[in-house]
Amino acid sequence: MTAFADKEPSRAEIDALPGAALLEFGSPWCGYCRRAQPLVEASLAAHPGVRHIKVHDASGRRLGRSFGVKLWPTLVFLKDGQELARLVRPGDSSTIVEALAKIA
């Protein structure tokens, strides 16, 4: 299981990411986030080239606000720094797999 990043990346760093990336906004104590983890991990297993960045989001955190995150987990699917898909509180792996297909 991927751990939350110790340091939140800047928006400029995210916008400059090459290739496919999944930004996962959430919190380690969030029940919705914990419930979604097996779905996210299983979906990512088929896409080893996708960079997975878990961002510990909270009030006042700039990156989450710049993406308009309101609920956790919010999954933002990026290709070369551009958002191509977004899922909020995914309930099944099929929606995650569909979103990953857009960036992989």
What's the domain range around 53?
11-103
Between 38 and 60, the higher pLDDT residue: 38
Largest CA distance in the chain: 34
Domain-located, residue 97: yes
SS (H, E, C) 29-52: CCHHHHHHHHHHHHHHHCCCCCEE
Domain-located, residue 2: no
Domain-located, residue 4: no
Is the per-residue pLDDT at 47 higher than 90? yes
Domain containing residue 66: CATH number: 3.40.30.10
Entry pTM: 0.95
Is the per-residue pLDDT at 89 higher than 70? yes
Looking at residue 5, what is its pLDDT? 83
Q: In the chain, pLDDT over 90 holds for what percent of residues? A: 88
Domain-located, residue 15: yes
Number of domains in the chain: 1
Is the per-residue pLDDT at 1 higher than 70? no
